[in-house]
Each structure stands twice: as C-alpha cells, then as structure tokens.
C-alpha cells in the first residue's frame, strides 16, 4: 500500500509531525479552560495568541542555521524543547506572561516544523517518491486524536499541565528514534544562476492560501454553526472536528493520488473542491449541510499546503532546500496572523456567510499561482 510505504520511508519525520499534532490538538481542546484562567476577553485572548505566531515566524528565519549546527540531532532537540516549553503557558494566569510563553512555544514548534519538512523533502528527492501528504496527514490525525483525548480529560477535570506533561513524556520517549542525518549536498555551481526567490514566493503563496483557509475554518466554523444556523454547543464543536478528520483523510488520499498525478494538476483540483466546500458552508441552511461543506473544504484544502512545501523543495537546488522550505513556511504561517482578524472584519461588516464566501475566493487564488509555478523548471525534473 503506497501510504504505508510512504510512512515507512519517512517514519522519523512522520513521528515529528505526530508530536506537533499532539500538542496543538491538546491546546485547542483546552482553550476554554486557559482563556478562563487568564480572565481574558475574546479580543484580548486572540491578541495574546499572536505570541505563538510571532515566535513561530521568528524561529523559521533561524531554523536553517540551527539545522546546520545541530545536524542529525535537530529533530531530537526540537522535540525536547517543544515538550518542555508547552508546560509554561498552561500555568500562566498573567496575560503578558502567557503571551511570552506562547512565543517560546511558537519558536520551538517553528524550528521542528522547518526541520521535519526539510527531512521529508530530502527523502522525496532520495527516493523519487511524494511523501509530504502522508506526513501532514499524521499531523492532522494526531491533532484530532489529541483533541479527543483532551476532551475526555476535561470531563474528568484533569488540569492542563498534567495532560501536556503526559504528551511531553510520550514525545521525549521518541527522542532516541529521531536521530536523522540531513542529506549531504554540495553547491555544484547551480546557485550561480541566482537565488530562486520568485519560485519560493509563489510556492509560499500557495501555502499561505492553504493555511489562511484552514485557520479561518478552525476559528470560525463553530460560531457559524451556532450563531448563523442556530446549532447547539455540541453541534458547533463538530465543525472544526469535521475539518480535522477530513483533512487527515484527504492527506492520506492525496498521498496515493500524488503518485499518479502531477502536483500542479492535483493542486488545481484540490483548490476547486475546497472552494466548493466553502460555498456549501456559506449557503448552508442547517448544521448538517454546514458539516458537509466543512468536510468537502477539508478534503480539498488538506493537500494544498503540503503540495506547496513539496513543490518548493523540488524547484530549488538541493543545497538550498532547507532554507527555501523555511522561507516558504514563513510566508505560509504568516497566514495565522491575518486569517482570524480578516475573517472577523468581513463577518462584522457583512456576516459569516459572506465571510465564508470570501474563503472560497481566497482558495481559488492558489490556481493562478499553481499555473505560474508549472512554468518554473525544477531541480528534480518533475512537473
């Protein structure tokens, strides 16, 4: 089976994807508890969460140098740092201290994110096989499972620090397994043709569209179901849950499809599918119809971000791969700065239906980006 084979080849970075998914899924489920602990309003809490985005983006600029310095231990160090710093924000009751702790979380998460994506890209080049979707699917699956486990822990009134510590211990047990030497590549003169900034910007734009759409649905789907469609709290919670599970399914499916289809063709199809899902959600008359919309959106958008990162790893010469992926990731993750804020402004002015209609338009902007990328020569010769 191609998915199992892909995970076998990339088992070490796939484990890193699982670690990040576990911690962010746990955090998402504990957000109501943490928000109450901080006594923060919605606006203040949203502002405080920019701390993690700031740390994330800042870390990604230095990740290539850290990767070169740490070498085979880069993923090991990233996992240990992430396991330790996640214990800080859940113990904070002062807003500024919480924001600072989240910046440390973002920095550790960003370092591990760049390194594990770079390792997957190196394995893709070594095995001439697409692997990115399968690895990102492991993140989505771990995210959904961790959120479910954490929900049960919340029902049992378990304090957040104990659950995070449990995930941290489980993650640190993986550290000996996570030793992985980076691919050794020489600068053979390819860089003399100039730094490939434009292809990186285009691929980063694709990742940006995907992550902005994903972040928007994660933040606003429950409110759309409850406020616009009159659903209850439990019905509202199924919105982001539907997104998480369908994204995992979509990424596993995308792994199989990507072995038979050109990246650009798959990306265009995925953009059209996810845009259709956003439109269904925007026009939904019942919560069930909204679930269908969010599910279709999740299936499509799930493969856009991984494809964007995979493409940039193939466009650039091998010795530039980690740095290129880092820069594309910086562009992509900056979407977490803008998406919730922009969605809120549109919703305030025109309502959530119009806001989700804008999500459909946003997703479709990845199509011209993909078609432009298709004209760019690649280091691996793939289309």
User: Each residue of 157-201: pLDDT tens digit?
Assistant: 888 999 999 999 999 999 999 998 876 655 555 444 455 778 788
d(CA 162, CA 91): 11
Domains 1-183 and 196-383 alike in fold? yes
Range ranked top by mean pLDDT from 28-32, 215-219, 358-362: 358-362
Domain-wise residue ranges, the chain: 1-183, 196-383
CATH class of 1-183: mainly alpha
Does pTM top 0.75 for this prediction?
Answer: yes
User: Each residue of 220-275: pLDDT tens digit?
Assistant: 777 778 778 888 755 766 676 777 788 888 888 877 777 677 888 888 999 999 99
CATH class of 196-383: mainly alpha
């Amino acid at each position: 089976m191609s998915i199992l084979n892909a995970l076998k080849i990339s088992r070490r970075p796939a484990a890193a994807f699982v670690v990040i998914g576990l911690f962010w899924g746990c955090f998402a489920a504990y957000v109501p508890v943490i928000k109450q602990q901080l006594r923060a309003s919605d606006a203040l809490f949203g502002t405080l969460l920019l701390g993690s985005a700031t740390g994330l983006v800042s870390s990604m600029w230095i990740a290539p140098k850290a990767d070169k310095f740490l070498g085979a231990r880069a993923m090991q160090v990233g996992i240990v740092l992430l396991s330790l710093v996640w214990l800080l924000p859940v113990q904070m009751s002062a807003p500024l201290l919480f924001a600072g702790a989240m910046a440390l979380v973002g920095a550790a998460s960003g370092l591990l994110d760049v390194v594990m994506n770079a390792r997957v890209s190196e394995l893709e080049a070594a095995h001439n096989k697409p692997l990115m979707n399968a690895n990102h699917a492991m993140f989505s699956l771990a995210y959904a499972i961790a959120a479910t486990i954490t929900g049960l822990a919340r029902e049992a009134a378990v304090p957040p620090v104990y659950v995070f510590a449990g995930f941290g211990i489980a993650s640190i047990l993986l550290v000996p397994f996570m030793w992985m030497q980076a691919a050794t590549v020489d600068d053979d003169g390819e860089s003399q043709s100039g730094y490939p900034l434009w292809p990186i910007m285009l691929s980063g734009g694709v990742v940006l569209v995907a992550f902005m759409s994903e972040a928007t649905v994660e933040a606003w789907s429950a409110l759309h179901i409850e406020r616009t469609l009159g659903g209850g709290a439990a019905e509202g919670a199924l919105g982001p849950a539907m997104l998480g599970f369908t994204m995992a399914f979509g990424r596993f499916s995308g792994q199989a499809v990507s072995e038979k289809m050109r990246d650009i063709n798959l990306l265009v199809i995925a953009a059209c599918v996810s845009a259709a899902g956003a439109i269904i959600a925007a026009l939904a008359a019942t919560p069930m119809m909204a679930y269908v919309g969010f599910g279709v959106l999740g299936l499509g958008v799930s493969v856009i971000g991984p494809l964007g990162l995979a493409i940039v790893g193939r466009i650039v010469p091998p010795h530039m791969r980690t740095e290129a992926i880092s820069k594309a990731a910086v562009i992509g993750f900056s979407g977490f700065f803008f998406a919730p804020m922009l969605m809120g402004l549109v919703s305030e002015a025109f309502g959530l239906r119009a806001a989700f209609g804008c999500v459909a338009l946003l997703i479709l902007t990845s199509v011209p980006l993909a078609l432009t990328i298709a004209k760019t020569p690649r280091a691996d010769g793939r289309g």
